[in-house]
Amino acid sequence: MNIHTAPASFPTDTLPKASVRRFAWDLDLSQEELVQLLDLTATLKRSPAAYARALEGRYLSLLFEKPSLRTRLTFELAIKQLGGDAVFSSGPIAEREPLKDVARNLERWTHAIVARVFSQQTIEELARWASVPVINALSDLYHPCQALADVFTLKERFGELRGLKLAFVGDGNNVAHSLMLTAPRLGINLAVATPPGYAPNAEIAATAAGLAAACGTELTITTDPAAALAGADAVYTDVWTSMGFEREAAQRRRVFQPYQVNAQLMEMAPNAVFLHCLPAKRGEEVTDEVIESPRSLVFEQAENRLHTQKALLLMMLA
Ligand code: CP
Ligand code: NVA
């Protein structure tokens, strides 16, 4: 039997479908699909049992070149809770054979590829060669699955996303980039404050500015944390040294010190919640006091990785 034509045992015709069979970066989901994904996530979170067999007989390949707790486990749990299963492989993806061969092996065994990679090029190449959906589980440039959980967490907390202000303070990295491509399309005003020299990628920033203008939201990129935090409803930070940049860690610890999210900084946004994708380095980008405070939603974000990824898998595979 061809695994790709096995009938779904669950009536899936009412589920929204992703129009592009890849989630290589944030913009592979349209604005409308993003809204649909958030709605579907809320349904899944409320009634998980209703979808327990929706992806029966479907398998995911998880290829991870870098460590992971949340992303790996939530994808494994997501597919299992939908009736499917996953296989996992760690280490460099294209060391023993070209990516185009890896892609054409995996598509014969599994219905989607979830990859965490050093280079975005690896995701693009997998997506180019695989006939099954390829999902970016973090690259040097993007972390689109994280952004889905982050905006869902904000929606749960605030009800309405349009008009919220999110302040991202720290490194202009993959997590910041995905927020820049996602938040404006949901009506969220976003301010990103980084040290000089650590601003987001200029091309991604230009794309995000275009999206913000088209969606009537504000996107600010600054080196001043106070400007970013003024009027913020949520303050987000991430590690100063992302995976792959370890040899810059000492230098980054010096440069990023004024951008630490501590109690004093949080006073600049007295009503804001605190967000972090985790893992966190307490004492570096955030203090223990802030991450453990009642304003911190970090474990809600972590939980919501599961629910948003279930919605993503349903939209891609059902
Ligand atoms: N936030 C996140 O992606 O966590 P992991 O690196 O543990 O997957
Ligand atoms: N920016 C971090 C995110 C980890 C989930 C990194 O790339 O290491």
Work out the burial of residue 114: count CB atoms within 10 Å of its CB; fewer than 13 is exposed, 13-18 middle, 19 or more buried. Answer: buried
CATH topology of domain 22-142+305-317: Rossmann fold (3.40.50)
Q: Give the per-residue pLDDT at 117.
A: 98
Please state the φ and ψ torsions of residue 136, each to the nearest 5 degrees. -80, 115
Residue 311, SS3 per DSSP: helix
Which range has the worst mean pLDDT, 5-14, 116-125, 220-229?
Answer: 5-14
- Atom nearest to 245 CA in ligand 2: 8
- Atom nearest to 242 CA in ligand 2: 8
Is 80 exceeded by the pLDDT of residue 259?
yes
Digit-coded pLDDT (tens) for 48-67: 999 999 999 999 999 999 99
Residue 140 confidence class, pLDDT cut points 50, 70, 90: very high
Is 50 exceeded by the pLDDT of residue 1?
no
Half-sphere exposure of 152 (CA within 13 A, CB side): 32
Q: Give the per-residue pLDDT at 169.
A: 98
pTM over 0.85, yes/no: yes
Return the structure tokens found at 154. Answer: 């904000």
Residue 146 near ligand 1, beta carbon < 6 Å: yes
Plot region of 216 (φ>0 → left; ψ -120 to 50 → alpha; else → beta): left
Residue 10 confidence class, pLDDT cut points 50, 70, 90: low
Q: Give the per-residue pLDDT at 266.
A: 98
Q: Give the per-residue pLDDT at 13.
A: 76
The protein residue with its alpha carbon nearest to ligand 1, atom 4, reads 70
252 Cα to the center of ligand 2, angstroms? 15
Question: Considering the chain, what percentage of its residues have pLDDT values greater than 90?
Answer: 95
Residue 11 confidence class, pLDDT cut points 50, 70, 90: low
Is 90 exceeded by the pLDDT of residue 12?
no
Q: Give the per-residue pLDDT at 6.
A: 45
Rounded average pLDDT over 215-236: 98
Residue 241 near ligand 1, beta carbon < 6 Å: no
Q: Give the per-residue pLDDT at 3.
A: 55
183 Cα to the center of ligand 2, angstroms? 18
CATH topology of domain 146-301: Rossmann fold (3.40.50)
CA distance 162 to 189: 8
Contact status, residue 304 vs residue 37, Cβ threshold 8 Å: no
Residues 6+ apart with CB under 8 A from 213: none
The protein residue with its alpha carbon nearest to ligand 2, atom 1, reads 242
Average pLDDT value over all residues in the chain: 96
The protein residue with its alpha carbon nearest to ligand 2, atom 2, reads 242
Residue 153 near ligand 1, beta carbon < 6 Å: no
Work out the burial of residue 308: count CB atoms within 10 Å of its CB; fewer than 13 is exposed, 13-18 middle, 19 or more buried. Answer: buried
68 Cα to the center of ligand 1, angstroms? 5
Is 80 exceeded by the pLDDT of residue 69?
yes
Rounded average pLDDT over 135-161: 98
Closest-approaching ligand to the CA atom of 246: 2
Is 60 exceeded by the pLDDT of residue 8?
no
75 Cα to the center of ligand 1, angstroms? 11
Please state the φ and ψ torsions of residue 63, each to the nearest 5 degrees. -115, 115
The boundaries of every CATH 3.40.50.1370 domain in the chain are 22-142+305-317, 146-301
2 Cα to the center of ligand 1, angstroms? 34
Can you point out the beta strands (E) in 170-310? 189-193, 219-222, 234-237, 273-276
Strand pairing of 134-136 and 165-169?
unpaired
Residue 111 near ligand 1, beta carbon < 6 Å: no
- Atom nearest to 71 CA in ligand 1: 8
Q: Give the per-residue pLDDT at 261.
A: 98
Digit-coded pLDDT (tens) for 275-285: 999 999 999 99
Q: Cβ < 6 Å from ligand 2: which residues? A: 138, 173-175, 238-239, 242-243, 277
Work out the burial of residue 91: count CB atoms within 10 Å of its CB; fewer than 13 is exposed, 13-18 middle, 19 or more buried. Answer: exposed
The residues that are catalytic are: 116, 143, 146, 238, 277, 305
Residue 4 confidence class, pLDDT cut points 50, 70, 90: low
Rounded average pLDDT over 97-114: 98
Residue 71 near ligand 1, beta carbon < 6 Å: yes
Digit-coded pLDDT (tens) for 185-209: 999 999 999 999 999 999 999 999 9
Neighbours of 11 (CB within 10 A): 9
Ligand 2 binding pocket mutation candidate from 68, 142, 242, 245 (most atoms within 8 A of CB): 242
Virtual CA dihedral for 142, 276, 64, 208, nearest 10 degrees?
Answer: -10
